[in-house]
Structure 1
């Protein structure tokens, strides 16, 4: 695990510092990695000059702790999350190398849930818990001049609608996307 992580970090570092004559584009597709809540693969499709759709597929619950009170019990593991947002974005500089964005969408999670009423039993009972809710996000994206990648920093919130209405979780992330 440590060796594959080191190889991935070195490959990403080499990719970031390599030269490329292509301009970073924000009106096409982008794919990359997001570290945060949720962490995982990030795919973005830009539409025209100020709209995009952002999709994150990865883990949920790892950054803010694997044990968290939930309903009448606890989460005690990391789960799977699929998150999608429709975004509006605008340039903050004349060169359009820094862009701000915000958007709204939804999130689907699957995580193990340990109900309190089964805590004293000798067999540890686990329930799969599929949840669904709305989310909002806002962030900044930096496109280095002459590079085909972008860096981003974002924050937002997830509000669950189904299984535990109004369960709130902070969604933050940093990442790197390759724009093509």
Structure 2
């Protein structure tokens, strides 16, 4: 399972390293931190004038509570997540300092699941689902960083179909 997660991560990073051009205040790449659900490291790769790929690697389940009903048991911990979205973005101001974006992608989570049949013990639960996101990003004039605010929805497909999770966050990225 960890080998599969590593392979997927390496493939995504390899794909992100392809050369493309960007324009306006945002640059080709950005890296930063996201606080929310999920929280962690955020990497964004811009493509042309209005597309990007956004990757979050971090924790899942901490913001909205570590103890949550799931299937017939409970989650009682924070887990690891990898989330990726293909984005469309557009300028909301003439100077392009504020941009809106939305996108769709997927999310893989791994958390400790406590089913009743294990009498207090846990098993690792790997889940997979689709997600959508929308947000705003502010690029201060002449600065190499941006600040963003976003929200979205995660819909699990495997282990618990149609299990819903709110994905929202705030963060900052350094653009290079």
TM-score, reference length from structure 2: 0.85
- How far apart are residue 116 of structure 1 and its match? 2.0
> Of 115, 133, 136, which aligns to 2:132?
136
Partner residue of 1:72?
Answer: 72
Give CA-to-partner distance per residue, 1:3-28, whole Å, 9 cap, x none: xxxxxxxxxxxxxxxxxxxx983241
Partner residue of 2:58?
Answer: 58
Partner residue of 2:168?
Answer: 172
Q: Give aligned pairs, total.
A: 154
Structure 2: runs of 5 or more not aligned: 1-22
Secondary structure of the residue aligned to 1:117 is helix
Alpha-carbon distance in 2 for matches of 1:66, 1:154: 21
Alpha-carbon distance in 1 for matches of 2:26, 2:44: 9
Q: Which has the higher contact order (CA 8 A, sep 6+)?
A: 1
Secondary structure of the residue aligned to 1:95 is coil
TM-score, reference length from structure 1: 0.83
Secondary structure of the residue aligned to 2:94 is coil
Whether 2:171 is the aligned partner of 1:163: answer no
- How far apart are residue 118 of structure 1 and its match? 3.0
Whether 2:85 is the aligned partner of 1:113: answer no
Decide which structure has the larger Cα Rg and report it.
1
- Aligned-residue Cα RMSD (Å) equals 1.3
- How far apart are residue 125 of structure 1 and its match? 1.2
Kindly indicate whether the alpha-carbon contact (under 8 Å) linking 2:25 and 2:97 is maintained by their aligned counterparts in 1.
Answer: no
